[in-house]
Amino acid sequence: MSAEDFEDSYVGGAQAYIWRVDTVTAGERRYAFYEASGNGGQLLIVVPTLDLSILFTGGNYRMGGIWSRWRSDIVGGHIIPAITALP
């Protein structure tokens, strides 16, 4: 699969002080989070209810189709289930 197969979901231009607010699903539960992001997969994701901060420093530039899935696939699919399963 090539880079052309993925959408470029990063919009260029002058941007600053932007925080995205959304939810991520882990199992059957949804968690509110806020995020700062940059092209290539630099993501700072904060889940306040879990006292959780996650940082990705990816280098997948112009491949938003890859790093935009990290929230659901990695955070919701692996990290949150792992920490909520702890005693």
**How do the domains of the chain map onto residue ranges?**
17-84
* Exposure letters 60-81 (e unless 16+ CB within 10 A, then b): beebbebbbebbeebbbbebbe
Is residue 22 helix, strand or coil? Answer: strand
φ/ψ of 65, rounded to 5, equals: -65, -25
Instruction: Determine the pLDDT at residue 15.
Output: 56
Contact in structure between 40 and 67 (CB atoms under 8 Å): yes
How do residues 38-55 score in pLDDT, each as one tens digit? 777 889 999 999 999 999
Q: List the single range of 7-21, 43-57, 73-87 with lowest mean pLDDT.
A: 7-21
